[in-house]
Every structure is written in structure tokens, then in C-alpha cells.
Amino acid sequence: MKKALALWALTPQAAGLARRINAALGAGDVWLSRRLEPKAGEQVFDGLAGAVGAQFRRYGKHIFIMATGIVVRVIAGLIGHKTADPAVVVMDEKGAFAISLLSGHLGGANELAHDLARVVGAQAVITTATDVNDVAAIDMVAKQKGLIIENPAAIKRVNMALVEGRPVQAHDPYGLLADQETALGLVNWNPDTGDPVAGAGLVVDDRLRNLDPAILVLRPSCLAVGIGCNRGTGMEEIKGLVEAVFQRFGLALKSIGKLASIDVKADEPGIQALADHWRVPLVFYRRDQLNGVGPVPNPSATVQKHVGAKSVCEAAAILAASPGQLIVTKQKTPNATVAVARASFI
């Protein structure tokens, strides 16, 4: 799990500013050159490049209080993709400027620069085109709405349309961006009609479609997968079943918001490993909670005999969707069963 914040300093004045910022923001680690004689609890490095290389992805945000050129050289070989890179902000030793250098939107560097402006009276320096032109950025909207960006390379086309004031053709069947329709200049478009996108396109849906890669796809985490299995069933069998079911029914794996089962399976390694693999929450329900779900399509006398619940996967999926609508009934392999429900707020 990533730590929240690292603050890096090379000089005494920068170290003092790092301490001041950390006291105000909290939850940070101050990293100082060994020659500065760091205080108790502060981290020490001998060489900046080596230390940053080892710690870059262990933190969600970095503040470097030093020259921008130094930072650029140090992090150049560490940069990956905007969806995974940590936020990087550079400050001068006097705290006059806070420059959002890397991962301004998704990583939060722009927001961090503004926080530093508030804390030490710096001038936040923001250069992302959408912010400069005071228009919404689709990657920030997606982050605020909890939407998963499936194809980040398509962000640029949508944001460019927003900056230039051109409409964005959008398919949003659940109305998840309804309150942003005007700000984003969204124009209704239905990919199922076969009409091509003229310019920038956007799809907000949990369904699979064969789309032009230039169309930005945002996935809501609205699907709950209920799981039942025999004792000792491995992750690969459960994972393979879920993947096959999602492919068969045209659903996006990135829209999985929860995995769920009965509480007697809470120690089942295969289920736990799958939740860890996909980095989604795993919830368990008591037999009385599962039995309290209304009629399910496929109750099982065998399941009820062994665990005391007439349904595990179907009932657990419905409950985990808070409650939701069952959209895929029980599917199975020799050792596992799964069902899928869509969140009712959709």
C-alpha cells in the first residue's frame, strides 16, 4: 500500500520548509540529505537519485524543494503513465512557487500545488490546458465520479475537444455524467446504431462493445459478483469462471465493484486471492441475510443443507449491489458458482 506523501530537501532552508509543510499537511515522510543531520523520525538519503528511484512508487505524492531541473533529471527515467504515476510538485526554497510537474489531474499534483499555496503562501503554477482555459478535464471528472478509465490514451482527444469548445459525442445510458452535460458539452450518441463519431467520443457503461480505440471508455464500478465454491477451490478456477461469464454476457471486468460470498467462506484462500488480484472489496454475508433475499432463480437444497442458505452466489450478488438487480443468474464450474448483479442506483 502506498504511503501518502514524501518531502525531499537538499539544503537547510529547504529542510525547514519541508518540516513546516509536513506539520501543516501531516501524513508525510521528510527525506533529507544525510549531511543535514536529520531529526528523529526523518528519513535519510546519501544520493538523491538512488533514494528517489527506490521510493518513487511507494508514495502517492512527492514534494521536491529544490531546482526543477534537478527533479526533472531524477524522475525522467521513472515516469510511466498518467494513470499510475504519483503526483510531483516542485517548490523553491523560499516557498514562493509550487509547480505541478507530474500527474496534475489523476495523481492530484494540481490540487497539492493549491494546498501548498494555502499553507505557505506560495503561487501555484498549473500548466495543464484544461485548467489554464478554465474548462472541465474528463480525467478529473472521471476521478470525482469514481469511474475507471479503460483506455487512457483516449483522454487527450476528449480534453482537446473541451479546450477547443467542440462537442463530445457521449453514450451515458445510466446518466452518470448528467450533471456535467453542459460543462462537458456532451451530445447524445448511441454506439449501437453504428453511427460513427465525428470528433471526440465518450462511453460511460459497464457493457463491452467493439469501439474505435480513440473513443474514451469510462467504467462505473457498479457490478457485484457473488461467489460460491467448494472448500479449497483455487483462485484460477474462480477467476476463469468470472472472466468467461463476463465475456459471454458482454460485461466489463473493470466495472466489478465488489466480490461477495457467505461468511463461512471468509477464510477461503481462492476468493481472497481473487479480491486481492483485482483490488476490489470482498464482503461476506450471514446465512440469515442471504435467506432474507427475495426469491432467487436458482435456489439449491444441497447448498442449504451444507451452509444453511438456499442461495449463495445469487443472493450475495444482490446484497453486495446494495441491493441490486440480478443480471446474470448462477453460472458454474465443477467447484465454483458465480452470479452478477448491477447496483440499483444505476
**pLDDT tens, 208-266?**
999 999 999 999 999 999 999 999 999 999 999 999 999 999 999 999 999 999 999 99
Residues 6 or more apart whose CB falls under 8 angstroms from that of 25 comprise: 5, 115, 119
Write down the pLDDT at residue 102: 95
pLDDT given for residue 38 in this prediction: 87
Is pLDDT of 345 > 70? no
Residues present in the chain in total: 346
Four-point Cα dihedral 178, 110, 25, 46, nearest 10: 140
Q: Which residues share a beta bridge with 338?
A: 227, 331
Higher pLDDT among residues 323 and 248, named by residue: 248
Write down the pTM of the prediction: 0.79
- The three three-digit cell numbers of residue 260, written as one number: 461477495
Give residues with Cβ within 8 angstroms of 318, minimum separation 6.
224, 226, 293, 296, 324, 325, 326, 341
Cα atoms in the Cβ-side hemisphere of radius 13 Å centred on 287: 9
Strand-pair category, 28-33 with 186-188: unpaired
Output the average pLDDT for the chain: 93
For residue 346, is pLDDT > 60? no
Question: How far from 257 is each of 8, 237, 273, CA to CA, in Å?
Answer: 36, 20, 16
Q: Are 120 and 17 in contact (CB under 8 A)?
A: yes
pLDDT at 151: 94
Q: Where are the beta strands (DSSP E) in 104-205?
A: 123-125, 147-149, 168-171, 186-188, 200-204
State the average pLDDT over residues 304-324: 93
Average pLDDT of the segment spanning 42-57: 96
- Cβ neighbours of 337 (radius 10 Å): 23
Using CA atoms, how far apart are residues 76 and 73, in angstroms rounded to an integer?
A: 5
For the cut 70, the answer to whether the pLDDT of residue 74 exceeds it is yes
What are the Cα distances from residue 67, in Å, to 25, 47, 49, 72, 101?
22, 16, 14, 9, 12
Task: Kindly state the average pLDDT of the residues 8-26.
Answer: 95
Q: Per-residue pLDDT for 28 more than 70?
A: yes
Give CA 80 to chain center in angstroms.
16
The residues, ordered by sequence, that sit 6+ positions from 239 with a Cβ below 8 Å of its Cβ are 274, 277
